[in-house]
Chains A and B, each alone.
Chain A
Amino acid sequence: MTKFKGFDLSERPYETRNFTCRGCPNVCRITEVRFRGEPPFYYGSRCGRFDERLEEEGKLPDLFRRRSEIIFDRDGEGVSLEGTLCFVPHGRPRGRIGIPRALLMWELFPFFCEFFRTLGYEVVLSPETSQELVRASLAAAPPAACLPAKVACGHVAALLDEGVDILFIPALIDAAHPNTRTKTNYNCPLVQAQPYILASRFDFPSLGVEAITVPLHFYQEELIRRELISLARRLGGSPRQTERALEAARGAEKTARDRLLAMGREALELVADGETGIVILSRLYNGCDWGLNLGVPEKLLALGALPIPIDCLPWEEVEVDPLYPFMQWHAGKRILAITEIVRKSDNLWAVYLTHFGCGPDSFIVHYVREALRGKPFLTLELDEHSADAGILTRLEAYLDSIALLTRSPRSPGARPMPRPRADFDREKTIYLPYMADHNYALTGALAHFGYRAETLPPPDEESLSLGRKHATGGECLPFILTTGDFLKLVRRPDFDPARSCLFMATSTGPCRFCHYFAAQKMILKRLGCDVDFIALEAYDAYTIKDLGTAFRRAAWYGIAAVDLLHKLLWRTRPYEVRPGETETLYREALKRIEAALARDGIKGLLAILPGIVERFLRVERRGGERPLIGIVGEIYVRANPFSNAGLVELIEELGGEVRIAPVGEWLSYTIYKKLGDTRMRGEWLAHIKTRLERLVLRHDEHRLARAFTGGLPPWDLEEPPTQEVVSHSEPYISEAYRGEPVLTVGKAIDYALKGFDGIVNVMPFSCMPGTMVATASSRVKRDYGIPWINLTFDGQKQAHLRTRLEAFLHQAELHRRARSS
């Protein structure tokens, strides 16, 4: 029998009324619809309090609620004060430590709670993420960060209101993992950078709060032990107390993990009995926080499925290294381990829950998709907008579609993450995507050692649109452009995959760069083009197996020479009397450098440089002074004119003189880091070799600088040592964070100290390291009194770029005048 009320519904009067439900911190606006003579019905609640349809709840266990009880409530040990949980210290109280219920505390809280309690501190945990807290966070947090990182700001604000003495916001660099042997096991860059982001938003000293912002390396057993001991000492713990605290912390962590796994076994039994198990593939801090997951687990429960938190399944047992040897993110390893479990199971399915702007997920999802080929999984990208209708629609449709599948399709077997070749093959042509003119130095050096190498044409609109088409949407601009360049290449009629090799640098740093080649290889393979990749690893300071130091040295010479040639260009072009003269000179010089390197190597290069310098000095120049602008930031975007919309020429047109942080800076940094790594690991032979290499590098740098003497003033000739650059950055972003941000901030300060008049920091849209720098920039700008502008590029035409740069140059000009008077 139908429940249809008839065609004449519009004749029946009804009344609607809105009210705000304050039953929980969600504060939903509820609509009540009332027909005469019928009970009213309600609409608009998030929790389902007014929703009759969600009554099925209770049949299946709510594992997410239970997980939170295990991790945070600690079985009722905490005392709740309006949502804030307080844990009394073991022993004589020393003070109150606040821990935000955000980011990695969603897994590490048991550990630190017991650690600090044993040291005699009361632990105060911020309340659950409510809609109110999310809203407050949005106003306080840096706009470019992802929602979970923003919400961390809200939790810190809540703790400050609560009046804690100490705030625990460490830089959690990497994570413990018993079953991986990769060199690094990083947390997401924005997670690592949490203390630096928070320090730019809250002035802790003036608030009378001590912030603990120490870097912690859980992946490195010896190091983390030292770090925790020194943390305990700082908090007044005696050696004995410290040992006890470490033991208690490890015990609490183990207990919690055992209980989570037991819960997971229970879930798998239910699944074996025919329940539909849906694993929420996510980070714990967004997938398990119901203030951030838009109630996905509750909705799934209400729809009759069993949602399972990712860390309740035995992820540590899955061997992910052989499958994903280059996965450097801890959360990525866990997601991919569970993906393997889902792939092999008949009754387990997956919802990939991510947040808008998540950098790592934009690449991890490539691998999950590849692994689950043939088995449907649902991706949900969430953000702060509160329309849960769309989420429900997707979940319902997903459940509908898997219910109709008579048998679970198992995907054909994990395809391991593509690997690059580590060697150069003389039989193949090596294609390098164009980043900057330094490419030609590299191809020149390769040619000198007998390799066929070609730099692809610079990226253009076609690269952009091809690259976008094959991206998942969240990847960064350099990936999209280089992917597009390769896609253009493989369409060329003369292209033969069997006789070709694509070149992509890589870095096991915490950012997305190291996934470029793997994702690109997968994309090309899907299009039916199986081609070798060569990926040079920054972690090894770009050591190449069979090419040896001679090639490295030639390449280094070439790159450093182009860096210096650029300085000549930028120093001359804005003042030239005959338009175009400098540019022509520069193009010729570049060709000569490539040819000289190819023919006669370093010797040939050094031979032609004096002539080039001399030629530049003959360019007729106009007088006049221009403000000096330093461009720093993400290496590809700052160096690549297409991706930065011709920034250098625009600044010159608007009256500035430019320097871009040199490409060689990054190479020096990789060697600097390798020195530190080998020292820390006690690899003395490698350490000494690296030391020697640095000496040679320095020597080469001096030699090149001599070749350019006369063409450039002394301050412009040689770059400061990495050590110095990094130490400039230390008060803003610590060296513990591995990657570009320390160089960007450090180089900007170097420019400021050299009397520059303005800093332009460039980055691709959604760049995680770039977001860190932009966040720190307000403090640098204030401390050094220099105009500073952050520019983000996503490949679109920038309507405001010119306006912003005009005003920026106006400021820089005022700075110049103030400086010279």
Chain B
Amino acid sequence: MWLGIDVGSLTVKVAVVDGRGQVEAGIYRPSHGAPLRTVLSALEEIFKEFPPERIEATGVTGSGGRLIGELLCASYVNELVGQTRAVELYHPEARTVIEIGGQDSKLLVLEQRDGRLVLVDFALNTQCAAGTGSFLEQQAARLGISIEEFSELAARAKDPPYIAGRCAVFAKSDIVHLQQVGTPLLEILGGLCMALARNFCSDVAQGRPFRKPILFQGGVSKNQGMVHALEAVLGLRPGELVIPEHQVLMPAIGAALIAGERAGDGIRWEDARERLLQAASQEESGVTRLGRLVAGEASSGRDPPLGLKGQTRGFLGIDVGSISTKVVAIDAEGRLLAKVYLRTRADPLGATGKSLRILGEKVGRKLDVQGVGVTGSGRELVARYVGADVVKNEITTQARAAAAIDPEVDTVFEIGGQDSKYIRIEDGIVVDFTLNKACAAGTGSFLEEQAARLGISVEGLVELALSSPRPVRLGERCTVFMESDLIHHQQRGAAKEDLAAGLAYSIAINYLNRVVGDKPIGKRILFQGGVAGNRAVVAAFERLLERRITVPPHFEVTGALGVALITREVMR
């Protein structure tokens, strides 16, 4: 028996193959950031049926394969070379292989030469990870569905909309837009598959011809929607895209075959197990570390009380963001009376209606509404829905709120779910601003997604981050790069708390480098928007800037407050 282990970025695959290439056993398992432990448990399961003594050769492959190979004293096989070998065995007629996995996409161009199948050309996704499975996974998480539901729904899409696919961030903004205009979920999912397929052709294949027969394998080949999308994009008839039987095990099988042919050793499980265990508990070295995060004084619990006593005249402010919807009521003097914060969940009208109902229950009876203002990315749509008097962009409204909170404010940081802003104010007037560019990371939903990748909640992330003794320095460019850095460190076994703190830092570093750039940062800094509630991020800012950052009360509804204040001025 030959053993093949494929350690990918997100999953571990193990195959047991006999000398004729018959697959005797196979395991496909997500690694949740602990590839070493996952390999350990998968192997223990395999060895119950096939004891280590029966293994004559072991081959490892995949992006995490090198380390495992060293620990197991196993033969390391390059993924592309291994894949070619497995394809040669099962589908020697194939001329093109499309493999889309969690973090990696590959195109293999094969040819028959002297009776062997030879790799003549190949392409991997470049620095952009948009053409990979995690793109779909990320979007599924964003849309609140499982990847299984995704497959099933996407396969039923009839008229998928166009979604940009070069960069995950671009796709996100398109999705938000489509959600805001109420496009049915299954069509959006179909559109995502089309985006990934197109992206694969342009970014990964880069104009290489797809010669038939074409194999489609890797984790994403389980997604029926993707099969349809690739057929559509490549102009194939049904059946021309072949899904091999062992669609997720091909690299593992290839590694086993090559290791067997190299006449490698068997596996000395007792020793290997020791080394695996030890490595799993060991820390990574050679990583840049940052200073400890220290939380400032907590601002919670000191917010002035809300509510109103008698009948009063007032104004409403509504901020419809891509991630959350905020509604506030203020009185004629501009004091905050009540606030509501809800998730938009891709339904801006529903979220607005619900928020207004809740606000109505709180203050509706006593409040004589004199005017309503709407801001946020969904403002045009919602303005018509609620009958708004004022529609304002979010920069002007955030600045207005900041000036009301602190008349001497000179700098506003605002970080929300998908957008972040830097505003420079002089004497209450906006003199400069920037928004995050399409390729910039450092927003709340990035933090959420990465927390989910680490298997923790955002609240949990704060606690972990603040307990980290040695925060890891992660990348600081676009989300895709940051994500690959996180994965890189995870694979090397960096501690969770250090990664959590690294994430908090990366939000702040990214914001400072990408959004603020070398624009001036003043002395009176207000930090607004949902992410301001994250004490770890605040601590990271304070540490990096070496100055105090003020998180105002009601930081999460400042946009709504600002537009309410502007409405108050306009309606008078």
Chain A positions within 8 Å of B, measured between CB atoms, are: 2-5, 7-11, 14, 16, 18, 20, 29-31, 33, 41, 43-44, 51, 53, 131, 135, 138-143, 200-201, 356, 376, 381, 383-387, 389-390, 392-394, 396-397, 400-401, 404-405, 461, 465, 468-473, 523, 526, 765, 778, 792, 794, 796-800, 802-804, 806-807, 810-811, 814
Are the CB atoms of A807 and B78 closer together than 8 Å? yes
Mask, B414-440, CB within 8 Å of A = 1, is 000001000000000111110101110
Neighbour of A4 across the interface among B350, B372, B513, CB < 8 A: B372
Q: What does the 1/0 interface line of B132-171 toward A look like (CB < 8 Å)?
A: 0000000000000000000000000001011010100011
Contact pick for B371, options A2, A30, A200, CB 8 Å: A2
Asked if B354 and A806 make an inter-chain contact with CB atoms under 8 angstroms apart, the answer reads: no
Chain A, residue nearest B104 (CB): A800
Minimum C-beta distance from B246 to chain A (A): 21
8 nearest CB pairs, A to B:
A7-B360, A10-B353, A397-B395, A385-B170, A807-B80, A3-B387, A806-B78, A31-B181
The distance in angstroms between the C-alpha atoms of A393 and B159, with both chains bound, is 30
Q: Is there a chain A Cβ closer than 8 Å to B467's Cβ?
A: no
- What per-residue 1/0 map shows which CB atoms of B196-211 lie under 8 Å from chain A? 0010011100111000
Q: Which residues of the other chain, A, contact B203 by a CB distance below 8 angstroms?
A: 143
Partner of A384, one of B166, B387, B484: B166
A138 touches B202 (CB 8 A): yes
User: For the complex, is B463 an interface residue (Cβ under 8 Å from A)?
Assistant: no
Q: Which residue of B lies closest to A375 (CB)?
A: B431
**Complex formed: what's the CA distance from A115 to B387 in Å?**
58
- CB neighbours (8 Å) of B118 from chain A are 814
Indicate which residue in B201, B476, B487 contacts A799 across the interface (CB closer than 8 Å).
Answer: B487
Task: Given A397-B433, A799-B488, decide whether A7 and B359 contact each other with a Cβ distance below 8 A.
Answer: yes
Contact yes or no, A2 B370, CB < 8 A: yes
Q: Which of B122-130, B213-221, B526-534 contacts A (4 or more CB under 8 A)?
A: B122-130
Rounded to whole angstroms, the CA-CA distance of A404 and B425 in the bound complex is: 12
Q: Is the CB of A9 within 8 A of B352?
A: yes
Range, interface on chain B: 35 or more
Interface residues of B (CB under 8 A from A): 9, 63, 66, 78-81, 103-104, 118-120, 122, 124-127, 159, 161-162, 164, 166, 170-171, 173-174, 176-178, 180-184, 198, 201-203, 206-208, 288, 316, 349-350, 352-354, 356-357, 359-360, 364, 369-372, 377, 380-381, 384-389, 392-396, 419, 429-433, 435, 437-439, 475-477, 481, 484-485, 487-488, 512-514, 517-518, 571
Total A-B contacts with CB atoms under 8 angstroms apart? 229
In the complex, what residue of chain B is closest to A802 when comparing beta carbons? B66
Q: Which residues of A contact B182 (CB under 8 A)?
A: 16, 18, 31, 33
Question: Are A142's CB and B207's CB within 8 A?
Answer: yes
Q: Chain B interface secondary structure, helix, strand, loop or mixed?
A: mixed
Known A-B contacts A41-B384, A386-B162, A389-B177; A405 and B429 likewise in contact (beta carbons under 8 Å): yes
* Distance, CA A814 to CA B539, complexed state (A): 55
Q: How many angstroms from the CA of A135 to the CA of B388 in the assembled complex?
A: 36
The answer to whether B393 and A397 have CB atoms under 8 Å apart is yes
The reply to whether B433 and A33 contact each other, CB–CB distance below 8 Å, is: no
Would B202 and A803 count as touching, CB distance under 8 A?
no
Complex formed: what's the CA distance from A92 to B359 in Å? 77
Q: Given known contacts A18-B183, A396-B396, is B387 in contact with A5 (CB within 8 Å)?
A: yes
| Chain B residues, Cβ within 8 Å of A472 | 517
Judging by beta carbons under 8 Å apart, are B430 and A401 in contact?
A: yes
- Complex Cα distance, B203 from A319, in Å, reads 43
| A-chain residues with CB within 8 Å of residue B349 when the two chains form the complex | 14, 16, 33
Known: A18-B182, A33-B349, A396-B393. A792 touches B126 (CB 8 A): yes
Chain A residues contacting B350 (CB-CB under 8 Å) are 10
Find B181's partner among A44, A51, A461 (CB 8 Å cutoff): A44
Do residues B198 and A139 form an inter-chain contact, with CB atoms below 8 A?
yes
Q: Is B80 in contact with A810, judged by CB distance below 8 angstroms?
A: yes
Among A139, A390, A469, A811, contact of B173 (Cβ-Cβ < 8 Å): A390
Residues of A within 8 A of B183 (CB): 18, 29, 31
Docked Cα-Cα span, A44 to B183, in Å, equals 11
Considering only CB atoms, which chain B residue lies closest to A381 in the complex?
B437
With a cutoff of 8 Å between Cβ atoms, the chain B residues found around residue A810 in the complex are 78, 80-81, 119
Contacts of B80 in A (CB 8 A): 803, 806-807, 810
CA distance A807 to B118 in the complex (A): 11
Which residues of A lie under 8 Å from residue B377 when comparing CB positions?
A: 389-390, 393
Q: CB-CB < 8 A to B475: which residues of A?
A: 796-797
Closest to B350 in A: A10
Interface pairs (8), CB distance under 8 Å:
A4-B387, A143-B206, A356-B438, A386-B162, A387-B173, A473-B437, A778-B208, A797-B488
Task: Indicate if the CB atoms of B174 and A387 lie closer than 8 Å.
Answer: yes
B396 lies within 8 A of A33 (CB): no
> Which residues in A have their C-beta under 8 angstroms from that of B174?
385-387
A804-B108 Cα distance, complex, nearest whole Å = 12
Q: Which residues of B contact A356 (CB under 8 A)?
A: 438-439
Give bound CA distance, A470 to B183, whole Å.
41
Which residues of the other chain, B, contact A200 by a CB distance below 8 angstroms?
207
